[in-house]
């Protein structure tokens, strides 16, 4: 009965995403998963949107309209692929489902170091942070040691945590999804665009996940040193005035390519966007902007105009002016 009411209610209020989020509080995860499952099987395209006009560089992609339960766009949505740090959405759900005290202090130790990919972290061994801060850093800045510490400090340890992740996936109907760690550093963490859309929908039920994934920056005081460190969101679209993002998560390892999942309000409607295996550092961001433009206008996003060549002449030679990349973090 609850599912029937929820399915009827959302279309009636599809322009009011705040109402939909309030309704989520009263729906069990399996109910919301069923809603998204119904969206995934609906193949009719909304009037005015031609999928041929959306050109994406991501190998797998999916756009869902949860209000009308329609698959708006799909590109290889059932391919089983590595999902990198998109994993951390499931990590967060398992932590919150456990009802562990978020104000309990957890200490980073050598078991949280990345010996698989060698990714860097500013959380040194012996650093003490609350479980809440670890959760925020794992979701917002895709901090791998934070995600590892959350799993390690779970009752029964990391093995029990990973088992809970897989049990949650099965309960949500994610039958092609498998987790082997809490960070996404292993390519054995796999899923499909379809099933990640279900996971995004389930994660959106948690207010803390919505808040933590869309916080542009965050400062933490590391104990016992008292040192204060600032962390930025791994998704630069969060700080853009052109976007209204309700939930997001980035991911990257070589085997997965660059990945991005989002729930965003576009043209006054909520959409779930899944972009997997984007080749090139900026492709997932460019693809997200292409999706947004297409949903707003129904047209292909125009190619950017060629930027003027900024160069200066130095002793008879032309020396290009380079812009430094502010992001040095890998494996997100």
The DSSP H or E segment spanning 216 is none
- Find all residues with CB under 8 Å of 117, minimum gap 6, and list them: 185, 253, 330, 331
Specify the 3-state DSSP secondary structure of 264: strand
Q: How many CB atoms lie within 10 A of CB 303?
A: 7
Q: What is the CA radius of gyration of the chain?
A: 20
Alpha carbon distance 214, 193 (integer Å): 21
By DSSP bridging, strand 269-278 and strand 257-266 are antiparallel
Helices 144-152 and 87-97: angle between axes, nearest 10 degrees: 40
Alpha carbon distance 151, 185 (integer Å): 14
Specify the 3-state DSSP secondary structure of 125: coil
Specify the 3-state DSSP secondary structure of 91: helix
Count CA atoms closer than 13 A to 255's CA, side-chain side. 15
By DSSP bridging, strand 70-75 and strand 58-65 are antiparallel
Name the residues annotated as catalytic. Answer: 85, 88, 142
Give yes or no for a cis peptide into 64 (omega within 30° of 0): no
Residue 88 near residue 184, CB atoms below 8 Å: yes
Alpha carbon distance 207, 211 (integer Å): 6
Residue 234 near residue 332, CB atoms below 8 Å: yes
Alpha carbon distance 181, 161 (integer Å): 9
Centroid of chain to Cα 186: 17
Q: How many CB atoms lie within 10 A of CB 13?
A: 14
């Amino acid at each position: 009965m609850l599912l029937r009411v929820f399915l009827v209610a959302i279309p009636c209020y599809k322009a009011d995403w705040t109402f939909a989020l309030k309704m989520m509080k009263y729906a069990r995860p399996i109910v919301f998963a069923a809603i998204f499952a119904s969206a995934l099987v609906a193949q009719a395209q909304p009037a005015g949107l031609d999928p041929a006009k959306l050109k994406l560089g991501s190998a797998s992609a999916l756009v869902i309209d949860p209000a009308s339960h329609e698959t708006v766009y799909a590109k290889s949505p059932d391919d089983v692929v590595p999902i990198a740090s998109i994993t951390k959405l499931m990590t967060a759900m398992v932590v919150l489902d456990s009802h562990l005290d978020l104000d309990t202090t957890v200490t980073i130790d050598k078991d949280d170091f990345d010996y698989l990919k060698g990714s860097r972290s500013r959380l040194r061994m012996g650093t003490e942070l609350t479980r809440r801060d670890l959760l925020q850093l794992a979701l917002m800045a895709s901090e791998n040691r934070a995600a590892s510490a959350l799993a390690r400090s779970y009752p029964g340890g990391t093995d029990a945590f990973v088992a809970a992740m897989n049990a949650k996936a099965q309960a949500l109907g994610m039958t092609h999804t498998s987790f082997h760690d809490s960070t996404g550093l292993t390519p054995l963490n796999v899923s499909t665009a379809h099933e990640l859309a279900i996971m995004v929908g389930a994660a959106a039920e948690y207010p803390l996940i919505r808040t933590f994934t869309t916080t542009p920056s965050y400062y933490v005081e590391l104990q016992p040193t008292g040192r204060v460190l600032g962390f930025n969101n791994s998704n630069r679209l969060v700080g853009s005035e052109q976007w209204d993002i309700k939930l997001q998560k980035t991911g990257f390892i070589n085997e997965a390519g660059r990945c991005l999942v989002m729930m965003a309000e576009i043209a006054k409607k909520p959409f779930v966007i899944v972009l997997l295996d984007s080749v090139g550092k900026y492709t997932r961001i460019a693809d997200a902007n292409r999706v947004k433009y297409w949903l707003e206008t129904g047209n292909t996003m125009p190619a950017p105009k060629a930027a003027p060549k900024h160069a200066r002449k130095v002793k008879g030679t032309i020396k290009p002016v380079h812009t430094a990349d502010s992001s040095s973090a890998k494996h997100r």
